[in-house]
Structure formats: C-alpha cells, structure tokens
Amino acid sequence: MTELSGVDLARQALVAAREAAKGATPGGSLA
C-alpha cells in the first residue's frame, strides 16, 4: 500500500470530477 500525498489525492479528485462531468454532460463540454 503506497502512501498518497495531498497532491496525489487532489489529482485523483480532479480526474474523478472530470469523469463525472464527462458522463453527466452530453459531449463532455466541460474543459
């Protein structure tokens, strides 16, 4: 189990939010 830093957690959250927005918006027009 690797130790995650704040930057890694923030990056994961950004990726998750981007994927959620892409799935919620037609065409994923959120940049």
pTM over 0.85: no
What is each CA distance from 11 to 7, 16, 17, in whole angstroms?
6, 9, 10
Instruction: Using the predicted structure, report yes or no on whether residue 23 has a pLDDT greater than 60.
Output: yes
Write down the pLDDT at residue 11: 93
pLDDT band at 3 (very low <50, low <70, confident <90, very high): confident
Instruction: Using the predicted structure, report yes or no on whether residue 12 has a pLDDT greater than 80.
Output: yes
Q: Read off the pLDDT of each residue in 8-19 and give the average, rounded to a whole number.
A: 90
Mean pLDDT of the residues in the chain = 78
Rounded to whole angstroms, how far apart are CA atoms 9 and 16? 10
pLDDT band at 21 (very low <50, low <70, confident <90, very high): confident
